[in-house]
């Protein structure tokens, strides 16, 4: 097995030898949980654009990755924060991504595809009104529905600026939910993922905010498929899950505690809409297959090995997790470079990437250790490490 030098704390180098590759059992959908992977986008490294200003997408490789996710029996949550939505990806590019994914999904009968609708084309400012936010949501929802897509209703930075009370959140969501053609997933993205969303639903306290969200869902239950909560707090998710209106699903966005939340308890369980499923898709599909068969031991065995990697990728500042997601795709040969939209490949340290490599190997998530080690050496060399 390949051996390479990797940096450790204190500025030292240590030899690391990878484990033999492990192949996860083939996925056997349908699963007894709905599971979406929030998929990343692949940048075009040869485009003559300034990455901090303009996004350039390698469309073929980006869509090929979605085909990979669907082939495993997982759904795709499109144009979400994992795809650097509002963090390098603008709305026109996001809509093109959605259009291409909707077209590609036709090759996979029954494929799950949810598409992010937000207000990111409306710059947050003190001059923005609640009615401006409503119009922005309406524009994006209409564009997605015109393509035949289902909606994931994303949180709005502009609404945070415009709202003067929790009632303003209720007004906006009730207006939009009253117009959508199909039930949506409401996405509550916490401030650990996007600091601009602090105080969402009108309260800094998550429990007070939750009460507002629950009232909105209860008042519009026929238009809500589920709620995706991303607060990285399993207890808050369980509290909200148990209080949701009948028939409304909880989609876990907890990249730290997903196994426990997906398994559930005697009062219910969470389905999943997770960024980490982009990274661990083969393992996730195998674990969900085991749970569907009633093999909870294998379900936990597979997921337990992935949790240290997920916690590392999503460690604070959590908003930089996309760097680890794309780095894993590069290591596993799902794209041929480590270049990101917005230049985000520089958002994590060399030590962070080295530990990611070790944890991915420990979880048997390096599909081809020889190739992964060769690519790791290349990245380390660029960063000044003689690997």
- How far is it, in rounded angstroms, from Cα 152 to Cα 211? 20
- How far is it, in rounded angstroms, from Cα 183 to Cα 225? 5
Q: Is the predicted pLDDT of residue 52 greater than 90, yes or no?
A: no
- How far is it, in rounded angstroms, from Cα 136 to Cα 123? 10
Q: Is the predicted pLDDT of residue 305 greater than 70, yes or no?
A: yes
- How far is it, in rounded angstroms, from Cα 315 to Cα 325? 12
Cis peptide before 30 (omega within 30 of 0): yes
Confirm or reject CATH 2.60.200.20 for domain 24-362, answering yes or no. Answer: no
pLDDT (0 to 100) of residue 64: 98
Cis peptide before 181 (omega within 30 of 0): no
DSSP symbols for 101-154: HHHHHTTSTT--EEEEE--TTS---TT--HHHHHHHHHHHHHHHHHTT-EEEE-
pLDDT (0 to 100) of residue 387: 62
What average pLDDT does this structure show over 112-141? 97
- How far is it, in rounded angstroms, from Cα 321 to Cα 298? 27
* CB atoms near residue 379 (< 10 Å): 19
Q: Is the predicted pLDDT of residue 211 greater than 90, yes or no?
A: yes
Q: What is the pLDDT of residues 26-45, one digit of tens each?
A: 888 999 999 999 999 999 99
pLDDT level of residue 358 (50, 70, 90 thresholds): very high
DSSP symbols for 246-313: TTPEEEE--SSSHHHHHH-BTTB--EEEESHHHHSHHHHHHHHHHHHTT-HHHHHHHHHHHHHHHHHH
Q: What is the pLDDT of residues 67-90, one digit of tens each?
A: 999 999 999 999 999 999 999 999
Q: Strand locations in 144-247, DSSP E?
A: 150-153, 184-189, 224-230
pLDDT (0 to 100) of residue 51: 85
Quote the radius of gyration of the chain (alpha carbons, Å).
20
pLDDT level of residue 55 (50, 70, 90 thresholds): confident
pLDDT level of residue 243 (50, 70, 90 thresholds): very high
Contact 279, 291 (CB under 8 A): no
Measure CA 378 to chain center.
27
- How far is it, in rounded angstroms, from Cα 17 to Cα 130? 56
Residue 189 dihedral angles phi and psi, to the nearest 5°: -95, 120
256: exposed, middle or buried (Cβ count in 10 Å: 0-12, 13-18, 19+): middle
- How far is it, in rounded angstroms, from Cα 321 to Cα 339? 15
pLDDT (0 to 100) of residue 196: 96
Contact 140, 104 (CB under 8 A): no
Q: What is the pLDDT of residues 153-194, one digit of tens each?
A: 999 999 999 999 999 999 999 999 999 999 999 999 999 999
What average pLDDT does this structure show over 101-120? 97
């Amino acid at each position: 097995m390949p051996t390479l030098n990797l940096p450790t704390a204190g500025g030292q180098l240590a030899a690391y030898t990878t484990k033999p590759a492990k192949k996860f059992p083939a996925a056997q959908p349908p699963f007894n949980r709905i599971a979406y992977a929030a998929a990343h986008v692949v940048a075009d490294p040869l485009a003559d654009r300034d990455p901090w200003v303009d996004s350039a997408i390698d469309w073929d490789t980006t869509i090929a990755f979605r085909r990979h996710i669907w082939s495993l029996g997982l759904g795709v949550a499109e144009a979400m924060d994992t795809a650097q939505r509002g963090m390098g990806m603008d709305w026109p590019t996001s809509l093109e991504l959605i259009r291409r994914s909707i077209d590609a999904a036709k090759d996979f009968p029954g494929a799950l595809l949810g598409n992010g609708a937000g207000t990111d084309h409306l710059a947050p400012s003190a001059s923005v009104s609640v009615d401006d936010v409503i119009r922005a949501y309406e524009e994006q929802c209409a564009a997605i529905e015109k393509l035949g897509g289902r909606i994931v209703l994303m949180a709005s930075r502009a609404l945070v600026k415009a709202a003067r009370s929790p009632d303003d959140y209720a007004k906006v969501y009730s207006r939009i939910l009253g117009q959508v053609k199909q039930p949506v997933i409401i996405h509550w993205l916490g401030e650990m993922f996007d600091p601009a969303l602090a105080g969402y639903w009108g309260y800094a306290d998550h429990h007070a905010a939750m009460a507002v969200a629950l009232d909105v869902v209860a008042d519009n239950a026929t238009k809500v498929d589920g709620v995706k909560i991303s607060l990285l707090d399993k207890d808050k998710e369980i509290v909200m899950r148990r209080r949701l209106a009948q028939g409304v699903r909880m989609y876990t966005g907890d990249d730290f505690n997903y196994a426990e939340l997906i398994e559930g308890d005697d009062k219910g369980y969470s389905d999943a809409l997770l960024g980490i499923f982009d990274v661990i898709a083969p393992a996730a599909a195998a674990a969900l297959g085991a749970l569907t068969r009633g093999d909870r031991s294998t379900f936990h065995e597979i997921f337990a090995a992935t949790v240290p990697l997920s916690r590392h990728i999503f460690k604070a500042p959590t908003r930089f997790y996309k760097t680890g997601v794309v780095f894993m795709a590069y290591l596993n040969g799902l794209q041929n470079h480590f270049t990101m939209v917005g230049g985000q490949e520089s958002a994590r340290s060399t030590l962070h990437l080295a530990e990611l490599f070790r944890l991915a190997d420990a979880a048997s998530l390096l599909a081809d250790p020889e190739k992964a080690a060769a690519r790791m050496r290349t990245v380390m060399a660029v960063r000044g490490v003689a690997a």
